[in-house]
Amino acid sequence: MIVRSGHSGHLSRSTKPPFGKVDEFRQGLVLQSLWHHPIPRRCIKMLVLLGLLCFFSVALSVNLHHNLEARLKHEAAAGSFPPPRQTNQHTHDPTIIRVGDTFYLYNVGEHIFIHTAPTMAGPWKHVGSVLDANAATPKGDRAVPWAPDVVYVDGTFYCFYSVSNAGCRDSAIGVATSLLPGPGGWYDHGTVIQTGRGNGSDVYPYTESNAIDPSVLVTPDGKPYLTFGSYWNGIYQIPLDQSLLSPLSTSDPDTKHLAWVPGTTSSPARNTNNLCGDSTGPHPIEGAFISYNDGYYYLWFSQGYCCNLVKTKLPSAGSEYSIRVGRSRDPRGPYVDKSGEDLTDGGGELVYGSNGDTYAPGGQGVIRIGDTDVLFYHYQNMSIGLAFSDAYLGFNPLKYVNGWPIVLA
């Protein structure tokens, strides 16, 4: 709106100042000039509106923060979970497949560790690594790629992996293939997608996401999908081409936004930028995995803080890693929790959380053994330690009640 002043606002020299002191008169003159002059007055009103907008934005952010924190504390107090089935196997971000009578465990380690065992409980034996050298993608920690996901499709094993640096989204997801699940014979094809910097990173959703924690699903009709994401704006999904080595489209990826945590549980880190740190504060959601059971696709994810934990400075109760899920009839979503809340609005059914000495379970996946789905994950044992290398592999069978998974002892 344009506001016109009714007069010039000029005071003649003969006008007696209505103030007690000359300095007060000068201040009054400046204020009157600012109010009555059309351009400054418009600017002042704009500043007032901007101020109000900032105020309400901050108020909304604080409200989301308090609501999220209250919900997490309530869930932590109400939660009662069975302990993990023991494996005595250290791991982080595990993925497990079964080939014949042998289980294969792939996890974070130099060039992606491979372990084998006759049962989920072990004994697990380190037999080698997926890659023979550093990851082909020139980003992040190439010697120790993160969060592998291994799938078997049409006679080929695909190992998807992540390279990044903690707290930054200058990341990439790569893939290696082999005709055998064990070490040796893997070929690293390099980058599938990347965020932050590099070829294709200027296309949505790579402009606002973090390309780590891959999970690949191939539907019964043969359509492959890559689900990924960590912190920032959450978890996304894109179709892959039939080779599973690249997106179906590089210019228009047909993206679905599947899950997010709108609120935050702490303040933004200092000196954030577009690549490292989030100016809106941390949105702790990651580790997506999609399974299928009896007509529903289940989107599993880890919510909360997982790493660099210190016993004397633990996050507030319920803010540590926990395993959550939503479901959908369509692999592309939308996914909702038991109350019907969309996962992109902060929904997510709590399935497994801290209990006893078991702390911060996450990095999960699901494997079907016979007719039973089994949830596997890493967790910290509070009686042993909270270091990254202290994490253990745990697992529990699942049952479904009214279509919702429940963890069994």
Q: Give 30-79 pLDDT, tens digit per residue.
A: 334 333 444 455 545 555 555 554 444 444 444 444 455 544 444 544 46
pLDDT reported for residue 113: 98
- 393-397, long-range: CB < 8 A, 24+ apart: 393/87, 393/89, 393/90, 393/91, 393/94, 393/105, 393/107, 393/124, 394/84, 394/85, 394/86, 394/87, 394/358, 394/361, 395/84, 395/85, 395/87, 395/120, 396/82, 396/84, 396/85, 396/352, 397/372, 397/373
Residue 267: pLDDT above 90?
no
pLDDT reported for residue 385: 95
Per-position b or e across 99-120, b if 16+ CB within 10 A of its CB = eeeebbbbbbbebbbbbbbeeb
Distance, in Å, from the CA atom of 158 to the CA atom of 130, rounded to the nearest integer, reads 10
Q: Give 303-335 pLDDT, tens digit per residue.
A: 999 988 999 999 999 999 999 999 999 999 999
> Which residue is catalytic, options 69, 93, 213, 349?
93
- Two structure tokens written together for 344: 């992109």
pTM of this prediction? Answer: 0.82
User: DSSP assignment, residue 312?
Assistant: G
Q: How far is CA 355 from CA 72, 322, 330, 376, in A?
A: 15, 11, 33, 16
Q: Which residue has the higher pLDDT, 50 or 386?
A: 386
377 close to 351: Cβ distance less than 8 angstroms: no
Q: Over range 342-361, report the average pLDDT.
A: 98
Angle at 158 between CA 157 and CA 160, to 5 degrees: 155
pLDDT reported for residue 6: 34
Q: Is 93 designated active site? A: yes
How many alpha carbons lie under 13 Å from residue 3 in its C-beta half-sphere? Answer: 15
- Two structure tokens written together for 265: 């549980």
pLDDT reported for residue 80: 87
Instruction: Band the pLDDT of 240: cuts 50, 70, 90.
Output: very high
Q: Over range 248-260, report the average pLDDT.
A: 98
Q: Which residue has the higher pLDDT, 344 or 15?
A: 344
> Which residue is catalytic, options 149, 213, 286, 373?
286
Q: Give 4-37 pLDDT, tens digit per residue.
A: 233 333 333 333 333 333 333 333 433 343 334 4
Element holding 151 (H helix, E strand): strand 146-153
Q: Give 275-289 pLDDT, tens digit per residue.
A: 999 988 899 999 999
